[in-house]
Structure 1
Amino acid sequence: MPSADYDQDTTDQNSPLRIKARGRAVLANPTTNRGTAFTLAERAVLGLKGLMPTGVTTLENQTVRTYEQFRRGSTPLAKYLHLAQLRDRNEVLFYNLLTSHLEEMLPIVYTPTIGEAIERFSHEYNRPRGVFLSIDDPEGIEQSLLNYGLGEDEVDLIVVTDSEGILGIGDQGIGGIQIAIGKASVYTAAAGIHPRRIIPVVLDVGTDNLGLLNNELYIGVQHARVRGERYDDFVDRFVSTASRLFPKAMIHWEDFGAGNAHRLLTRYRDDYCTFNDDIQGTAAVVLAAILAAVNVTGIDLHDHRIVVFGAGSAGIGIANLIKDTMLRTGREETEEEARSRFWAIGINGLYVDDQDELLSFQRDWARHRDEIADWTVDDPSQIDLLEVVREVKPTMLLGTSTKGGAFTEEVVREMARHTPRPIIFPLSNPTSHAEATPADVLEWTDGQALIATGSPFASVDHKGIRHRIAQSNNALIFPGLGLGVAACGATHVTEGMIAAAANALAGLVNAYRPGAPLLPMMNDLRMVSATVALAVAKAAVEEGVASVSFDDPIQQVYSRMWRPKYPVIEAI
């Protein structure tokens, strides 16, 4: 990342950091600052003598000190703000702390705490990070991206949001930049993508959040969210400009609203290297858990009956990937036959083909009215979850609805009556929005349910067996996918690459032991990410979308994984 003050080759983890700046300018830059870890010789040559305490500290001791400070945070938001300030002060120390305590800190820098940080963005605003693009200044997109200071070969990832569908809290306007920054931090901590090879971006297209618009401290554009042709033109200008300036970068779409997420992915996926984590990342990690659960049940994936409750962007994304997996595994069946194993439920009940309110990406998953003509229901125009479970007798129940407690005791017990090992995934975030708790599901199924959740839950003891609850966290997939794309120079992200990521993740667990989790736990994400990256890159090569020779796969993936350590300094 060339700069007037420093220079370093971010593709080589052993590259020296060449520093031109002197004195307090060195300490003010999180890339060049290492605080008390500067040696006496480095202090002398960089003009730092007398600007810090005399003692020289190791990175390890700095990490111990900052961890103690982190632990003193009285609330999750206070801990988040402490980490954000550390990142703005000393980048290497921040990432060494984060990678050393990743399982503990992931809920702070990512979900669920990131949601509160986003809501408080205009109140807690401190140091700008990322790129802010305003729909009122589309001509400024190119200059804004160039001002970030990176060259065309220096960007692996662009994480972008328009903030309409932030987690479970909806439209958050310009505060959505925090989710892009959080994702960038996880890419680095979990997969070793160099922190200066990622650009977080927010598309500030306005907000329909009246609380923000009426808040004098709000620092986004002051008007309602722009939609329609003007929105599309703005997004198109961003995509074409970003891809021209940074041709090797994957564009990662994050937290777009349901009306745009599928539409934009479909629009750009064939022409650009692009990936939607809410659709494809969620689908991949859920598919991995499903594959592990299916192996335990002994029932072939093709023979499962699957209910998707809350079939929006994430739910339909999951259904699509399961469907594509069915089609790839050798059975002679059409897409229509594969879809016949799914029942999708939305805000107005079971999707039926005569419902006008269905979006285009949902319509393919609607049942024909004559298929359900003989069902016993209270209201044929709005068939609820319990009625679907009674009629379908599903073996798999996936919740992406954000309706806390929707998987009631009656629903779960009804499902368990018809299948000995029900697969039940309450996937909604945060915890309060989960469709059921693992403890309840295990109680209502006499410990037989196979469970993965979207939020972290503690282990559950049931009749002498400790059940470790798999968290279907996208951090198990997206960092490794981004690393794999970068390692092989993929020009597109294909469904085959997504499926390869899911299969690699599923292969890391042994779910046959009673109480074993269906997914790897979150304490070894770097190994998980490397495994996923290797599978993704190999799939890219097989599908002809890799742009570099991939003849030493393990080394090529490993060598791209930056590790937080202080590089050798060359004063220039």
Structure 2
Amino acid sequence: MALNPQDILNNPFLNKGTAFTKEERQAYGLQGTLPAKVQTLDEQAVQAYGQYSSKTTDLEKRIFLMNVFNTNRTLFYRLMEDHVVEFMPIVYDPTVADSIEQYNELFVSPQDAAFLSVDEPEDVEATLKNAPGGRDIRLIVVTDSEGILGMGDWGVNGVDIAIGKLMVYTAAAGINPSMVLPVVIDAGTNNEKLLHDPLYLGNRHERVRGERYYDLIDRFVQASGKLFPEALLHWEDFGRSNAATILEKYQDKITTFNDDIQGTGIVVLAGILGAMKISKEKLTDQRILIFGAGTAGVGITNQLLDEMKRQGLSEEEARKHFFLVDKQGLLFNDTEELTPGQKAFVHDRSEFENSNELTNLEAAVKAVQPTIMIGTSTQPGAFKETIIKEMAAHTERPVIFPLSNPTKLAEAKAEDLIKWTDGKALVATGIPAAPVDYKGVTYEIGQANNALMYPGLGFGIIASTATRVNGEMLSQASHALGGIVDTEQPGAAVLPPVAKLTEFSQTIAEVVGQSVLDQKLNREEISDIKKAVSEMKWEAKYTDLNL
């Protein structure tokens, strides 16, 4: 059935707005539905950026960009392409936090997302069929919004996380926006504010646990596999009790990965590999303290452990290099309330003379004397001056990554870490940080943002038609990213800048894709991965509709 003019103008994948040519307006019955002037995409982008710049707050800027996204995907991604460094913190972290908190008040459009309800499990397949409207889906980002970093449980509002992640996938790596699907699992919420908010749009009951929950997840996996057999499934912001369980159940059966467990781990590994390149030290010689042993903290630890084993250590030897500190202090084998992930990295009290006193970060740092310290605790200011100076007293180039975000939850500021260590610290933060000028040297601060990694990783997996995601691919991705550092430049960052995101996302995609081919995990015959990546890359340009 032919589309009528309003169908075209209201479809963000087809709409060109004022850029429809006179011939197209004639062919598709658009005469008189638009002003007479035919604009180029360049002209539209300049006009839209002017409107964006007139907004006074980051949230207003995000709302404006979402309106562009809802009406014209090509124009939106052209704007992202032109202003990627400026727009990244607007469309995603940290401004997305404000959007999530005000989702109910700001809701205008579902933005092509699929909403799966634990109360209507029989509707899973129909929902996944309805939401994309017949589009060829190759990438799904799914969240249940229980464990949003720095925010916690935000119920159905967390759909903005999935939408934002997919925006970055397209802007950074060039995944065709018509081939992606954001999904939110609405299993209820334990957020009392939402449960008592008359405007809340999700299921108004506490989170469903156990068999009913896992049955919904299974229905989702089965239905998505049936409807979209070539899709990569990306899990995002699931809670501590479910994230690892879900990944372990499905990672050997379908093409899938969890960004909080694996994505965070590989970007941090890349940052540490970059730091080792600068300090000219070996990863296998490091003592690593993780402060905040939740999903992200344990995921980072597992990724670093895997890399130490790849570099020649036995599992037993490698585990001795890690020290997890959580709310109970340094974690021991008799510590109460350990998660399964934490139990793999506990120590015996006999290793420390004063083990009963190691109940806080400062005591743990004194006892462990770490050379690398990573914060995923959401405890603002936890990396105090006394702690940092204690760490720096025992290592020449302390590697310190305060990763918690948003800004108000960061364990330390980059400028303080540089000052407290007299310029010796190798720093990466979870949020963008300005360069630090100290004693005549400008220190560039790497951002250990998953956005540096997952777009290229995911694109490489999709372009190579991978049937599985494994540790070898993740390691290759980390080495590719960690290798892009300038070891000769004083104050060089341990990670490449977001400004070069599209450039190194392409590199990562090719490296990951080649790993897939080398392991013979590709579904389709591919001989040249660079060609496969190039041919699949989408560009923000207007093309013929061919309706």
- Give the TM-score normalised by structure 2: 0.98
Task: Return the offset for 1:142.
Answer: 0.4
Distance 1:32 1:264, change over 3 A: same
Residue 433 of structure 2 is aligned to residue 453 of structure 1 = no
Report how far residue 334 of structure 1 moved: 2.1
Q: CA deviation at 1:150?
A: 5.3
- The answer to whether residue 385 in structure 2 is matched with residue 409 in structure 1 is yes
Corresponding position of 2:121: 138
- The correspondence for 2:258, drawn from 276, 281, 290, is 276
Shift of 1:512: 3.6
Q: CA deviation at 1:196?
A: 1.1
| Matching residue's letter, 1:75 | T
Deviations 1:165-212 (A, max 9, x none): 112111111111111111111111111111111110000000111111
The aligned residue for residue 46 of structure 1 is 28
Asked whether 1:294 is paired with 2:237, we answer no
In structure 1, C-alpha distance between the alignment counterparts of 2:542 and 2:16, rounded to whole Å: 8
Contact 2:274-2:484 within 8 A present in 1 as well: no
Partner of 1:494: 470
> Residue 259 in 1 paired to residue 241 in 2?
yes
Listed one character per residue, the Cα deviations across residues 460-497 of structure 1 (whole Å, up to 9, x for unaligned) are 00000011110011111101111101111111110111
CA contact (8 A) 1:63 1:93 kept: yes
Amino acid at match of 1:507: G
2:83 match: 101
Q: After TM superposition, give the deviation of residue 238 of structure 1 in Å.
A: 1.0
What's the CA shift for 1:122? 1.1
Does the Cα contact within 8 Å between 1:115 and 1:166 map onto a contact in 2? Answer: no
| Residue 215 (1) aligns with residue 181 (2) | no
Identify the residue that residue 306 of structure 2 maps to in structure 1: 324
CA shift digits 1:11-40 (9 cap, x unpaired): xxxxxxxxx323233212112211111111
How far apart in 1 are the matches of 2:487 and 2:239? 35
The CA deviation string for residues 369-414 of structure 1, in whole angstroms up to 9 with x for no partner, is 2112x13x6x44x522111211221111111111111000000000
Structure 1 position 147 matched with structure 2 position 130: yes
Report the Cα distance in structure 1 between the residues aligned to 2:218 and 2:246, rounded to whole angstroms. Answer: 9
Deviations 1:218-263 (A, max 9, x none): 1111111101111111111111211122111111000111111111
Which letter maps to 1:544?
A: K
Shift of 1:341: 0.6
1:151 Cα deviation after fit: 5.3
Report 1:537-552 matches (<5 A).
537-552=513-528
Mapped to 2, the partners of 1:150 and 1:292 lie a distance apart of: 43
Match of 1:343? 323
Q: RMSD value over aligned CA atoms?
A: 1.3
Matched, 1:110 2:86: no
1:170 to 149, 152, 158: 152
Alignment partner of 1:59 out of 24, 41, 50: 41
TM-score between the two structures when normalised by the length of structure 1: 0.94
> Any unmatched runs of 5+ in structure 1?
5-19
SS in 2 for 1:569: coil
CA distance 1:268–1:182, shift in 2 (3 Å):
same
Q: 2-side partners of 1:308 and 1:25: how far apart?
A: 52
Does the 8 Å contact 1:423/1:449 carry over to 2? Answer: yes
Residue 345 of structure 1 aligns to a residue whose secondary structure is strand
Q: Residue 242 of structure 2: SS of its match in structure 1?
A: helix
Superposition deviation, residue 355 in structure 1? 1.1
Query: In the alignment, is residue 358 of structure 1 matched against residue 338 of structure 2?
Result: yes
CA–CA distance in structure 1, aligned partners of residues 372 and 54 of structure 2:
43
Aligned to 1:529: 505
2:100–2:160 Cα contact (<8 Å) kept:
yes
* Separation (CA, whole Å) in 2 of partners of 1:391 and 1:30: 57
SS in 2 for 1:182: helix
Corresponding position: 1:231 with 2:245: no
- What does the per-residue CA deviation read over 1:110-138, in whole Å, with 9 as the maximum and x for residues that have no partner? 10111111111111110122000000000
CA distance in 1, matches of 2:504, 2:461: 15
Secondary structure at 1:202 match in 2:
strand
CA distance in 2, matches of 1:151, 1:335: 47
- Give 1:338 deviation, angstroms: 0.1
| Identity among equivalent pairs (%) | 46
Q: Is the 8 A contact 1:115 1:167 kept in 2?
A: no
1:203 alignment partner, SS class: strand
Residue aligning to 1:79:
61
**Aligned with 1:463 (options 420, 439, 453):** 439
Counterpart among 100, 106, 119 of residue 124 in structure 1: 106
Q: 1: distance between equivalents of 2:133 and 2:448? A: 34
- Pick from 8, 15, 22: which aligns with 2:4? 22
Distance in 2 (CA, whole Å) between partners of 1:253 and 1:443 is: 38
Q: Is the 8 A contact 1:36 1:57 kept in 2?
A: yes
Alpha-carbon offset, residue 313 of structure 1: 1.0
Q: CA deviation at 1:423?
A: 0.5
8 Å CA contact retained: 1:279, 1:313: yes
CA contact (8 A) 1:306 1:343 kept: yes
| Displacement after TM superposition at 1:77 (Å) | 0.9
Among 228, 236, 244, the alignment partner of 1:246 is 228
Q: Distance in 2 between matches of 1:202 and 1:174?
A: 7
1:497-531 deviations in Å (ceiling 9; x for gaps): 11111111112222341111111101121111111
**1:514 aligned residue (487, 490, 498):** 490
Report the residue type matching 2:197 in the other structure: N
How far apart in 1 are the matches of 2:95 and 2:117?
A: 26
String of CA shifts for 1:51-88, please: whole Å, max 9, x gaps. 22111110001000101111111111111110111111
Partner of 1:559: 535
Alignment correspondent of 1:8? none
State how far apart, in whole Å, the 2-side matches of 1:234 and 1:192 are: 31
C-alpha separation between the residues in 2 aligned to 1:230 and 1:23?
A: 44
The residue type equivalent to 1:419 in the other structure is T
Q: Which residue in 2 is equivalent to 1:198? A: 180
Aligned to 1:7: none
1:438 aligns with 2:414: yes
**How many matched pairs?**
546
- Report the equivalent of 1:158: 140
Shift in Å at residue 298 of structure 1?
2.2
Give the conservation status (yes or no) of the 8 Å contact 1:151–1:246.
no
- Of 551-560 and 339-348, deviating more is 551-560
Say whether residues 1:385 and 2:361 are aligned partners: yes
What SS is found at the alignment partner of 1:243? helix
* Unmatched 5+ stretches in structure 2: none
- 272-281 or 386-395: bigger deviation: 386-395
What is the letter of the counterpart of residue 131 of structure 1?
A: A
Q: Is the 8 A contact 1:36 1:52 kept in 2?
A: yes
**One-letter amino acid of the counterpart of residue 520, structure 1:** P
